[in-house]
Structures are given as structure tokens and as C-alpha cells.
Copies of this chain bind each other. A is one copy, B any other.
């Protein structure tokens, strides 16, 4: 059962609301940003997303359950685990891009971006 099932009757059939339930989380958006550049190991994501292992694991499991990432385990010693976007996950790239464009225009922390 995913977060979409938590939507009320008015929102359950709305495409914006269904996607918002899927990606309406800061950590999930950061994981999508990182995986849009290619597969990543758990430790790489941990450093880049700056989340605790517990938080990162919960988000990766949600994303795997929703079919937007896959987990690959390579039979090495020690085992190597990588996460990769599925085709469905790669279709979220325009959302990450729209976040980037807004941030570049409105949220730069150099005191030069607009504030209203």
C-alpha cells in the first residue's frame, strides 16, 4: 500500500495529487536528483542526500515499491548494492528539472535572487 492510498476521495483520481503523494517528500526528490545522473550505491546516496541510513532506507523502499527505482545486488565480496531509476522513474526527470529552474531563479543563497 502506497501513499497514494492515503489520498481522500476528492484527490484519489487527480493526476497532480497522485504524483504529489508519490514525490511530495524532500528526500525522495533528492534521491531522484542523484539517480537521474545514473545508478548510485547506498553510501553515495547517504552522503549526497545527507539523510540518516534509516530515513534513506525507508525512502528507497517506498520508491522500489512504487516501481520508480530498482535495487541491483552484485555478487561481489563484500556485496555491492546499487539503485537505479526504472523507465517510470526516469519519466520523473521533468519534475527535477522544474525544481532546478525555479531554484536557480528564485532561491539562490547569494542574496541575488528575487524574493517575491
Contacts and interface: CB of A to CB of B under 8 A. Distances in A.
Nearest to A12: B109
A49 B16 CA distance: 11
A98 B93 CA distance: 9
A112 interface: no
Contacts of A108: 15
A81 interface: no
Nearest to A13: B109
A16 B22 CA distance: 17
Contacts of A11: 30, 49-50
A41 interface: no
Interface in A61-116: 67, 86-88, 91-92, 94-109, 114-116
16 contacts: A10-B48, A11-B30, A11-B50, A14-B33, A15-B101, A17-B33, A17-B103, A18-B103, A19-B99, A19-B107, A23-B24, A24-B24, A25-B26, A87-B116, A88-B115, A95-B98
